[in-house]
């Protein structure tokens, strides 16, 4: 299942780091963090709890950029 969210990320390097770390999560097929559009696109495996994945994604993003916020489009 594909989901898109707004994300505030301050630099392209941080977006790349986030994308790489999120892609390693169990339950994620792929992740794209776009600095220019300030969007994150996730391809989540079927049967995975979306809220749980978003919580993990948020934790990863805040480890890289403490002020990061992810919200629904």
Structure confidence by residue, pLDDT tens digits, 49-61: 999 999 999 999 9
Closest alpha carbon to 22 in 14, 12, 32, 13: 32
| Token digits of residue 16 | 């790349």
| pLDDT at residue 73 is higher than 90 | no
Helix/strand/coil for 31: strand
Specify the pTM.
0.92
Mean pLDDT within 60-65: 96
What pLDDT, in 10s, does the model give residues 25-51?
999 999 999 999 999 999 999 999 999
Q: Give residue 50's pLDDT.
A: 95
CA distances from 15 to 3, 30, 37, 41, 62 (A): 17, 14, 11, 12, 11
């Amino acid at each position: 299942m594909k989901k898109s969210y707004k994300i505030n990320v301050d630099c392209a390097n941080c977006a790349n780091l986030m994308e790489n770390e999120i892609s390693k999560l169990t339950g994620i097929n792929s992740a794209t963090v776009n600095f220019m559009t300030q969007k994150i696109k996730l391809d989540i495996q079927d049967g995975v709890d979306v809220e749980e994945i978003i919580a993990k994604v948020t934790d990863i993003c805040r480890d890289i950029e403490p002020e990061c916020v992810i919200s629904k489009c």
